[in-house]
Structure 1
Amino acid sequence: MILELESYKRDTRLIGKAVDILVLKRQFEETEALYDRENDNFTELFCRMFNWSITDTDEQPQYVYDRDTKQLYKPKY
Structure 2
Amino acid sequence: MTVTVRYFAAVREQLGGSETIDWSVTPARTVGALREWLQSRSPSHAAALDGAKGLRMARNQTLCTADEPLSDGDEVAFFPPVTGG
TM over 0.5: no
Q: TM-score, normalised by structure 2?
A: 0.36
Task: Using structure 1 for the length normalisation, give the TM-score.
Answer: 0.39
